[in-house]
Chains A and B, each alone.
Chain A
Amino acid sequence: MDFRKVMLIVKKDILESSSTILPFVSMFVALLFLTIFFVSAIYAFFQAAFVAVSFPSFARNFNVNDMIVTPYMGFVAFLSVLIIPIIASKSFAQERKLKTIELLFTYPFKEIELVIGKMISTFLMYLMFLTFAMIYIIFFVVVYTVINKGTLDLGVIATGFLGLILIGALIVSMSVFVSTLTDEFFVAMLISLFLVLTFWLIGFTGDFTNPTYKNIVKAISISTNFENLSKGVIDLKNIAYFIISIVLFTYLSIFSLTENKG
C-alpha cells in the first residue's frame, strides 16, 4: 500500500466534499442537540452543587464525572452513531452513482488504497464534529478548575475521547463497507444506520435474557464496549473489540470492491 496514494484520495474527497450538503447539516443539527444537552447538564450540576453545600451526606456521592463527563461522552457517542452513517454513506455509493468509480479503478490505485483513503476522509469529517464536541468539555474543565480551585480527573476525559475515536473509526469502517454494496446514497445510509444502531442497542437487551446470550451481546455491542472507556477504564478486551471490528470491515470493503465492480 502506497500511503501517498491514500492521501491523494483523501485530498480529492476533501476538495469534493461540498458536493453533498447533508453531512454538514447533520453535524450542525447534532451540535445543536449537544449544546442543549451540555447546558442542561451544567444547569443540573450547579443545582445539585447548591444542595450538596447544604447536605454534607449528599456531597459524599456528588461526582462531577458521573454527572457531566460520562453522560456527555455517552451522548456524543450516540450522536456519532447517528451522524457517521450520513457522512460515510456517500463514499463509494456516490462514486458508483456518478460512475467515477470507473476512473478510480482504471488509475493505478489498489483497492486497499481506495478503501483506506475513503475511511480517512470520512473520519476527518467526523473529527471535525468531535473537535466541536470536545470544545464544550475543555471549556467545562477550565471553568471548573477556576471555580473549584482544583482539577478534574482528566483520565476520564482522555479515555472517553479514545473511546469516541474508536467508535468513530468502527462506524466509519461499517458505513464505508455498506457504501461499497450499492450506488444509492440513501439506501447505503439507511442500511448503515440500521446496522450501527443494531450493534449499539443490542447491548441493552442483554440484561433481559439468559446469561449465555447476555455474554454474546455484551461482547459484540458497541455501547457495552464503549461503556468502560467512558468511565475511565481501559480494558484491553474493549480495545481489541474495536480494532478487530475495524480490520474486519476494512477487509470486507476491499473484498466487496474487488468482487463487485459491475
Chain B
Amino acid sequence: MSNIVSLENVTKRYGDMRGIEDVTVDFEEGKVTGFLGLNGAGKTTTMKIITTYFKPNSGKVYVNSIDAIQEPYKVRKFIGYLPENFPIYDNLTVLDFLKFVALSKEVPNVEEEVEKVINQVGVEKYKNRFLKELSKGYRQRVGIAQAIIGDPKVIILDEPTQGLDPAQIIEIRKLIKSLSANRTIILSTHIMQEVEAICDNLVIIHEGKIRMSGRVKDLKEQIQNEVKVEYIFSKTNNEINDKIREILKSYNIHEVQFQDSSVTFNINKKDERILFEISKKLVEDNIEFLYINKNTITMEDLFLKAIQ
C-alpha cells in the first residue's frame, strides 16, 4: 500500500508557542489511522495542516502526491474533514447544508449523492430539520456526512466522539467502522479503546513530536508477547534503586519505571523464568521485596510508554 498523506519535517508555531515540531509521518492509503495524543499534543494542528487550513512554518505536505502548501485548492478536493466540535449553520436544514457541501465539492449527481450520505449516516428522518434542532449525536452524524460526501480520498475526523454520551459514542464508532472499508481515514482521538476498535494503524504524537507509529496489529502482537512485571519493595531509596537498576540491566532490561516503592518493567513472555533469577539476586543483595505482580500489557500502557 502507498502513502496518500505525507508530512516531511513539518513545523508549525503560533507566535512563540509550539504547535508541532519537525513532524515526519506518513498515512497509508485505504487504512484507518488512529492519531493519538493528549490534549494539546498537536493532533488538531497536524490535521489542520493536512486539510490546508493552516500553512506550516516549514516542511512539506503532500496529499495524493500534490503539494498541499503550493496547491491547497486542489488538495481540498481530495479531503473530507470533520473538525473538533463540529460547527453548524443554525438556520440551514440538513438537506440544504449537505447540498451546499456537495455543490462546493463539485460532486456530480448532487441530489443522489446527498440522499446516499443521508442514508449512510442515518439522518433520513431529520433531513428537513434545521441543524440547530438536532441533538449533539445527530449533528455529529451530519458532520460525518459532510466529510464523506463525494467520496473523498482522505477523510479526517478530529475527535469525532468528544462530548457525546456513551450510547452516542458507540453509535458513532459503529458508523465510522462501517465507513472504513477501503477508505483512508485519519482519526484523531485520545481514547485508546477507539484506536483498538476502529484503526489499522496508529500514530502517537506528544508535545508536538511524533513518538510512535506502526500497525495496530503489530502492537497487539507485541502486547500478547509481553508481560508487565511489578516488584513491590518494603523500602526504597536512591541507593537501592541504583542497585535494582544494575541488576535489571544485567538481564538486558533497560526500560524501568520507579514509582514510590514499586518498580515496573516489561519482559517477553517466553523469558519469564528470568524473574526467578532476578528475585534470587535481589535477595542475595539484601533488597527486600514484598510481592510480585504480573499483568498483561494494555494499549494504554504502550501509549503511556510512548509519551514518557
A binds B: yes
- Contact surface of A with B, Cβ cutoff 8 Å: 4-5, 8, 11-12, 15-16, 18-19, 98-100, 102-103, 105-110, 261-262
Give Cα A255 to B51, complex, Å: 20
* A–B complex contacts, Cβ < 8 Å, 29 sampled: A4-B103, A8-B100, A8-B103, A8-B104, A11-B100, A12-B92, A12-B100, A15-B91, A15-B96, A16-B92, A18-B91, A98-B88, A98-B89, A98-B90, A99-B83, A99-B85, A100-B88, A102-B53, A102-B83, A103-B81, A103-B83, A103-B87, A105-B52, A105-B53, A106-B76, A107-B101, A108-B105, A109-B76, A110-B73
Residue numbers in A under 8 Å from B104 (CB-CB): 5, 8, 107-109
A16-B90, A19-B89, A98-B89 are known contacts; what are 5 more A-B pairs with Cβ within 8 Å? A99-B87, A105-B51, A105-B52, A105-B53, A107-B104
**Is A106 touching B52 in the complex (CB atoms < 8 A)?**
yes
The 7 A-B pairs with the shortest beta carbon distances in the complex, nearest first, are A99-B87, A108-B76, A107-B104, A106-B51, A106-B81, A19-B91, A100-B87
Partner of A15, one of B52, B79, B92: B92
Nearest CB of B to A94, in Å: 10
Partner of A102, one of B87, B101, B105: B87
Contact A100 to B89, CB < 8 A, known contacts A12-B100, A108-B106, A261-B54: yes
Report the nearest B residue to A2, measured CB to CB.
B106
- Is B6's beta carbon under 8 Å from chain A? no
Nearest CB of A to B150, in Å: 10
Give Cα A67 to B92, complex, Å: 47
Give Cα A108 to B104, complex, Å: 6
* Cβ proximity bits B81-114 to A, threshold 8 Å, 1 near / 0 not: 1010101111110001000110111100000000
Report the nearest B residue to A109, measured CB to CB.
B104
Nearest CB of A to B136, in Å: 15
Q: Is the interface of A mostly helix, strand, loop or mixed?
A: helix
Report the nearest B residue to A18, measured CB to CB.
B91
**Is B76 touching A107 in the complex (CB atoms < 8 A)?**
yes
Partner of B53, one of A4, A8, A11, A106: A106
Residue numbers in B under 8 Å from A11 (CB-CB): 100
Nearest CB of B to A188, in Å: 18
- Is B245's beta carbon under 8 Å from chain A? no
Question: Count of A-B contacts with CB under 8 A?
Answer: 66
Give Cα A106 to B83, complex, Å: 10
Nearest CB of A to B39, in Å: 17
- Is B140's beta carbon under 8 Å from chain A? no
- Is B77's beta carbon under 8 Å from chain A? yes
**Is A262 touching B54 in the complex (CB atoms < 8 A)?**
yes
- Is B276's beta carbon under 8 Å from chain A? no
- Is B291's beta carbon under 8 Å from chain A? no
* Cβ proximity bits B39-56 to A, threshold 8 Å, 1 near / 0 not: 000000000100111100
Nearest CB of B to A260, in Å: 11
Q: Which of B76, B89, B90, B103 has the most CB of A within 10 A?
A: B89
Report the nearest B residue to A259, measured CB to CB.
B55
Give Cα A218 to B146, complex, Å: 51
Residue numbers in B under 8 Å from A99 (CB-CB): 83, 85, 87
Give Cα A103 to B53, complex, Å: 9
Residue numbers in A under 8 Å from B101 (CB-CB): 103, 107
Give Cα A102 to B89, complex, Å: 12
**Is B91 touching A108 in the complex (CB atoms < 8 A)?**
no
Give Cα A15 to B83, complex, Å: 23
Residue numbers in B under 8 Å from A8 (CB-CB): 100, 103-104
Give Cα A106 to B156, complex, Å: 11
Give Cα A12 to B76, complex, Å: 19
Give Cα A110 to B105, complex, Å: 12
Give Cα A199 to B189, complex, Å: 50
Report the nearest A residue to B79, measured CB to CB.
A106
Residue numbers in A under 8 Å from B106 (CB-CB): 108
* Cβ proximity bits B19-50 to A, threshold 8 Å, 1 near / 0 not: 00000000000000000000000000000100
Report the nearest B residue to A100, measured CB to CB.
B87
Residue numbers in B under 8 Å from A108 (CB-CB): 73, 76-77, 104-106
Report the nearest B residue to A258, measured CB to CB.
B55
Nearest CB of B to A183, in Å: 12
Contact A262 to B90, CB < 8 A, known contacts A102-B83, A103-B83, A108-B105: no
**Is A261 touching B77 in the complex (CB atoms < 8 A)?**
no
Give Cα A131 to B281, complex, Å: 95
Report the nearest B residue to A98, measured CB to CB.
B87
Report the nearest A residue to B146, measured CB to CB.
A103
Report the nearest B residue to A97, measured CB to CB.
B87
Report the nearest A residue to B48, measured CB to CB.
A102
**Is A262 touching B14 in the complex (CB atoms < 8 A)?**
yes
Give Cα A8 to B14, complex, Å: 32
Nearest CB of B to A254, in Å: 13
